[in-house]
């Protein structure tokens, strides 16, 4: 009797262990199924997150649609009007959140990229920006707007002033007054119309327009200045101006940090502004050597500002890489006289007169041990 009970107890223990294992396996399976239902591609949590995302995107899209509808109340609404509306409604904080080339809008938090809302407002303007050096590491990268496609030159012989709006006439007059002053004003140069107003009208633009009215009004002054320019054999003027990342009226910029830089292109008649960003990622602030001008000479220096020898040299002039190695002199160490570089460019007919280079900043490439180092140098020399 005891043997039977003992055997039965042993069998009961075995069955209990098997049941426990089976229970654990079933629980693991159920846990896996539950986790999949919660977290899988089609899980409850994933679906909930997707629903939340779609709801937030829909809310942003609705707000953007309202801004666009509000802007369209104005005749000939532009992308600028919409950007101002987006900022006012706190959909964006900065105009850089609108990609003027693709029309994508990057919203404030929660941040999403909303597409296909600005298709009707995108321009066919193409802005071409060059980088020197393009990818090699350097302590400085030279950026330049090389061309703008889609904004034509203004042909003074074909220009019909009567077809321009009042605002367009005012925009044009500002630019041709500046052009006339800078090119035929007896040596005066103004970096901007604002500087012209500051120097000649005490910073009072209203006074300028009052003077224009006294001399016959905008139409009369436009016709007079245009005729004067044509008499001086000026048949066309540029249809746009470039504003660099420092908000200066210039097509060039010297980047010294890795960042995204934005150039603005302004149509001088319509006042329409277009932008193009360029990303710089090849700035190396820990380079072994760097290019620098000391007084009127160009040197390659190490981190301790010691002058070092180099083998070759180039100047990047108007986008062309010109070998100026023949300008390298050597006393105790290699260097180049800025005056000799200017003289050499005149000799090989890259400039008509070396004085064209004075007070301009140029990119120099110096080669040591087969590696290039770049730097921006102001061209000037002792009289």
- Residue spans per domain, the chain: 44-121, 126-280, 289-378
Residue whose token pair is 């997150």? 49
DSSP string, 20-42: HHHHHHHHHHHHHHHHHHHHSTT
The whole-number pLDDT of residue 124 equals 78
The whole-number pLDDT of residue 25 equals 79
Residues of the chain below pLDDT 50: 1
Q: Which residues pair with 320 in a beta bridge?
A: 317
The whole-number pLDDT of residue 329 equals 94
Radius of gyration of the chain (CA): 34
Residue whose token pair is 């977290």? 39
Greatest CA span in the chain, whole angstroms?
133
pTM, entire model? 0.63
């Amino acid at each position: 009797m005891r043997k039977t009970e003992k055997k039965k107890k042993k069998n009961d223990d075995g069955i209990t262990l098997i049941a426990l294992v089976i229970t654990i396996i079933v629980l693991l399976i159920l846990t896996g199924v539950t986790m999949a239902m919660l977290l899988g591609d089609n899980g409850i949590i994933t679906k909930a997150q997707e629903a939340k995302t779609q709801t937030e995107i829909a809310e942003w899209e609705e707000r953007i649609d309202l801004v666009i509808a509000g802007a369209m109340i104005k005749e000939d609404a532009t992308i600028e009007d919409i950007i101002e509306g987006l900022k006012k409604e706190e959909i964006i904080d900065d105009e850089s959140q609108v990609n003027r080339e693709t029309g994508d809008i990057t919203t404030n938090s929660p941040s999403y990229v909303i597409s296909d809302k600005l298709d009707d407002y995108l321009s066919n303007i193409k802005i071409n920006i060059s980088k020197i050096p393009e990818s090699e590491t350097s302590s400085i990268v030279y950026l330049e707007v090389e061309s703008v496609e889609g904004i034509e030159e203004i042909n003074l012989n074909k220009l019909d002033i009567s077809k321009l709006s009042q605002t367009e006439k005012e925009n044009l007059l500002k630019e041709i007054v500046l052009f006339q002053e800078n090119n035929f004003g007896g040596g005066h140069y103004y970096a901007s119309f604002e500087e012209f107003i500051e120097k000649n009208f005490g910073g009072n633009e209203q006074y300028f327009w009052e003077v224009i009215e006294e001399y016959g009004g905008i139409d009369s002054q436009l016709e007079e200045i245009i005729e004067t320019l044509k008499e001086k054999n000026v048949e066309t003027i540029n249809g746009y101006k470039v504003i660099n990342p420092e908000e200066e009226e210039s097509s060039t910029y010297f980047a010294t940090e890795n960042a995204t830089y934005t150039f603005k292109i302004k149509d001088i008649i319509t006042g329409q502004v277009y932008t193009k960003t360029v990303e710089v990622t090849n700035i190396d602030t820990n380079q072994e050597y760097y290019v620098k001008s000391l007084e009127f000479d160009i040197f390659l220096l190490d981190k301790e500002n010691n002058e070092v020898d180099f083998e070759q040299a180039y100047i990047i002039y108007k986008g062309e890489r010109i070998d100026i190695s023949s300008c390298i002199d050597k006393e105790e160490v290699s260097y180049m006289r800025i005056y000799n570089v200017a003289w050499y460019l005149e000799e090989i007919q890259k400039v008509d007169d070396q004085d064209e280079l004075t007070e301009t900043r140029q990119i120099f490439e110096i080669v040591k041990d087969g590696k290039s180092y770049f730097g921006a140098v102001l061209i000037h020399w002792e009289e």
